[in-house]
Structure 1
């Protein structure tokens, strides 16, 4: 599609959906069409988002457009774009408008706004989810292909679940927060809503980047936004959370766990840390961000927002240190979790409340919505919210795949497979999901490494590879010229006459990390050139003296097959 076709389609979809509460500011039709004509006249120029319409949550600055954060009395007009917005415009994206939100991004229901409540695209009696309500609804209704939101406690994931779309929660600090009205500054991140996992990842590739002016910005330890291929043996964790969920959510979650063959773990410490976001010192951080408004102009605040912010004034420092210690324990637990598993699968939200329920109890339903989302940023996780099924009434149920910081590219194929297993269309549009792209090929700053043992996916030492930025490329076999030996809990590969073909996996590893990984490999193992069926590749090899007395397991065709025979015999 051309920029003009994109623009006309967006305007038509907005008119057909007819929900003014999505918007706090919508660009005039003429301005949108004029910009589309300009983009079309310029041509793509290599810009990855050329002509694609997008919207921005109204707590993120767009030059010349008021930023309200859902509070008219707070409004200001920025002179410059937030870096994330600037990067999108430079990539050729077409700005449509700024969207509604729970005031100051304080809420998960999507109803705490003086600009109205965006309509849930599946059931107008239900909340749309928040705080990024307008952005999610704009994607779910087919007005735009992607939108910027924010995510502190789940604001980029809960409304994605209720709209049947994808919500990408990036690693905190990977996207500049300059030009973002803070909620909890230490754990805020700009987030992405999109039609599919890979479209969300493509947007993050554009907006991510270190910002020296943002004190919470972080440099990625490796290129983390390259898409892996689908893992042959993913290790996914789950938890017994059915008692916390409505029956339809529990049923959909059970099916998703079965699809990914997820293994149960205890997440009680994560659930405890989740409560800290609204019941611990991070409430005071919200209060600190809006101290001037609360002290001088409290009447401009939404009543529920004001209640929450005022509660931060009563927090005690001594309790804060208890919370900090609890969080450190939870972060260490997360390290152990992701050393053993590639991802944690949870429901995005335990239920979807009705508008009437929230009117009757403005705080209770909101608190429950954050059960599974609140801890992710506190525990330094990244993740995707994707549809995992539908309730009997036709409303979508969302699931969430979480991984450690900087795992967005590795999680993408797993999240995409989960999405496509349980949904075929985008939001409420009826439009088919866009096709998935192929995995990213080996980059110039990466080296292909052939793994034949415990460093393969699903096996105990795979974390040494992924922890250095490794990503799975493909399965492969050697030429029929090798012998495989069992050296206890790992194999040794040796080129030998009369050998056979040995199966393994090719991983892409940052070239700068090859030496670091080699330093973790004990003798008689090391790295050398391995002749694969499709060409030479760096890989694990053994010294001949080190395997002299070891059992020869070549006949099994690979280490994973050998392990299978041992499991059967145990």
Structure 2
């Protein structure tokens, strides 16, 4: 049995095992998905390249999937699309198999995952808590291991809050990067199709395929140096659930330990704009999307009363208020971007807390409104975001998000890597030292100087004929000495890209330091030393560059060291 067919069968077995029927609105018949998977396996066997072959995905119920009704969480609203939404079509063309459409807060109006006639979607970790909405079913399908990734939408945080509550990754692209055709709108000018996955690479791969073949926009340029992360003062975060402030601080410290520079930021324009999404005139766009339908079906058991009330009240928003709010929003956006300055990202808790199902039932509007404190402003400001797990609090997932300028989606993912993957140490002794010509290669990859030290006294150093000039470090059985070294912290991805660009005769090896520890470091291939001048006696590259006579002129220069 080959990859795609085996994966489909495993997905349906997992669906039966977890017994969470509220996750789904419509599941495709297993025989249909198996036939599709078998065809994919045959294409792979014939030599075709399908990057997503062997994966399965789920689709939020307000996104068109050919052959299944699009309900937007309301049975009487359902229609049968003739074709897949472009985002779905692109993923299927890459070899992934759609399992079905998932439950959601009706008409994508909510952040709790309980506003649906198909039932409240329970949290994947603790069923007594909400899953987060509106993309509730998609997030839980991924968190439970049913789907490899899933599509959601995000207008006010629906692609991020469920990710945080279920311990997975949520990518919310820059508005406009991914097409929204074939999506029932919540607020058409703000909606984004998002991706849930258990890992960043899986989410990024899906997003890259969804965005193709549109020409990607360039990210704003940045000056070299460590990642610059804006962190608000704890007092501006407002009330958080018990233990969440400490968890957020730990995430910030983890970024700093990985080499990021932490900068202050004024969070007020972000939270002011967040309140405008529902309390101001922008909610009128929700009425423009489905208001006429809601008006025709007042009192229908299909309509969630909380959602219907929000949409119906938006009908009476006066036009002058919309124009006033647009002017106010422009001013807030200018303040927010000015406050961010040259920061690469803003770090925030994804939500201020995680309510139980009982708490949401007791206060459906208040509990939901609280959850959007940090997410509501992102699309209003036209920004990109990624939500990632950042530990646990009281046995439940805790998540943070990184928000950045438009079209910095890839940059945000690289910063998020610092939270999901521990940084690596690397020892440098030559042109990568602080102030030397190649040091910028470390800084541009998020490198941070950990300490200055020396190697163990078992190395010899040679001046190589390269541009720019650099030394070659080799371990020696005799005649070695301690060589000045710096130890840098680099994210794994940064070290990988540095090694990919490393020219011969340099190579990565294990360097012994003065304290007896071993770290990866730049060594030199022995054959490159023929004719090279030994500079071991200087005890380091910087001292050798300073010139003057060798501090140990009697030492023998031998290019045959190994």
- TM-score, normalised to structure 2's length? 0.73
User: Residues 478, 10 of structure 1: CA spacing in aligned structure 2 closer, same or farther, 3 A cutoff?
Assistant: farther
User: Residues 279, 3 of structure 1: CA spacing in aligned structure 2 closer, same or farther, 3 A cutoff?
Assistant: same
Instruction: Report the equivalent of 1:15.
Output: 16
Instruction: Report the equivalent of 2:218.
Output: 222
Shift of 1:408: 1.2
Instruction: Report the equivalent of 1:433.
Output: none
User: Partners in 1 of 2:130 and 2:195 — Cα distance?
Assistant: 20
- The one of 227, 237, 241 aligned to 2:230: 237
Instruction: Report the equivalent of 1:130.
Output: 133
- Indicate if the aligned counterparts of 1:479 and 1:533 stay in contact, CA closer than 8 A: no
Are residue 253 (structure 1) and residue 248 (structure 2) matched?
Answer: yes
Instruction: Report the equivalent of 1:534.
Output: 503
User: Residues 20, 533 of structure 1: CA spacing in aligned structure 2 closer, same or farther, 3 A cutoff?
Assistant: closer
User: Partners in 1 of 2:361 and 2:170 — Cα distance?
Assistant: 26
User: Residues 321, 458 of structure 1: CA spacing in aligned structure 2 closer, same or farther, 3 A cutoff?
Assistant: farther
User: Partners in 2 of 1:189 and 1:533 — Cα distance?
Assistant: 39
- Indicate if the aligned counterparts of 1:174 and 1:210 stay in contact, CA closer than 8 A: no
* 1:253-272 mapped onto 2 (5 Å cutoff): 253-261=248-256, 262-272=262-272
- Indicate if the aligned counterparts of 1:235 and 1:458 stay in contact, CA closer than 8 A: no
Shift of 1:557: 11
Are residue 350 (structure 1) and residue 355 (structure 2) matched?
Answer: no
User: Residues 419, 337 of structure 1: CA spacing in aligned structure 2 closer, same or farther, 3 A cutoff?
Assistant: farther
Are residue 396 (structure 1) and residue 397 (structure 2) matched?
Answer: yes
User: Residues 184, 557 of structure 1: CA spacing in aligned structure 2 closer, same or farther, 3 A cutoff?
Assistant: farther
User: Residues 334, 360 of structure 1: CA spacing in aligned structure 2 closer, same or farther, 3 A cutoff?
Assistant: same
Q: Which has the larger radius of gyration?
A: 2
Aligned to 1:383, the other structure's residue is in SS state strand
User: Partners in 2 of 1:113 and 1:306 — Cα distance?
Assistant: 11
- The one of 49, 53, 74 aligned to 1:50: 53
* 1:297-336 mapped onto 2 (5 Å cutoff): 297-298=297-298, 299=300, 300-336=302-338
Give structure 1 stretches of 5+ with no counterpart.
Answer: 212-218, 423-448, 460-476, 483-503, 505-531, 536-553, 559-570
Aligned to 1:186, the other structure's residue is in SS state coil
User: Partners in 2 of 1:2 and 1:149 — Cα distance?
Assistant: 25
Matched residues, number: 443
- Indicate if the aligned counterparts of 2:266 and 2:336 stay in contact, CA closer than 8 A: no
Give structure 2 stretches of 5+ with no counterpart.
Answer: 257-261, 424-436, 448-465, 472-487, 489-500, 505-540, 546-562
Instruction: Report the equivalent of 2:118.
Output: 115
Instruction: Report the equivalent of 1:140.
Output: 143
Shift of 1:396: 0.5
Instruction: Report the equivalent of 1:562.
Output: none
Shift of 1:83: 0.4
User: Partners in 2 of 1:62 and 1:533 — Cα distance?
Assistant: 46
Shift of 1:451: 8.8
User: Residues 279, 242 of structure 1: CA spacing in aligned structure 2 closer, same or farther, 3 A cutoff?
Assistant: closer
Are residue 415 (structure 1) and residue 411 (structure 2) matched?
Answer: no
Instruction: Report the equivalent of 2:173.
Output: 170
User: Partners in 1 of 2:467 and 2:278 — Cα distance?
Assistant: 55
* 1:33-72 mapped onto 2 (5 Å cutoff): 33-43=34-44, 45-72=48-75
Shift of 1:251: 1.3
Aligned to 1:351, the other structure's residue is in SS state coil
User: Partners in 1 of 2:372 and 2:19 — Cα distance?
Assistant: 29
The runs of at least 4 aligned residues of structure 1 exceeding 4 Å deviation read 449-453, 455-459, 554-558
User: Partners in 2 of 1:556 and 1:63 — Cα distance?
Assistant: 69
Instruction: Report the equivalent of 1:362.
Output: 364
Shift of 1:223: 7.8
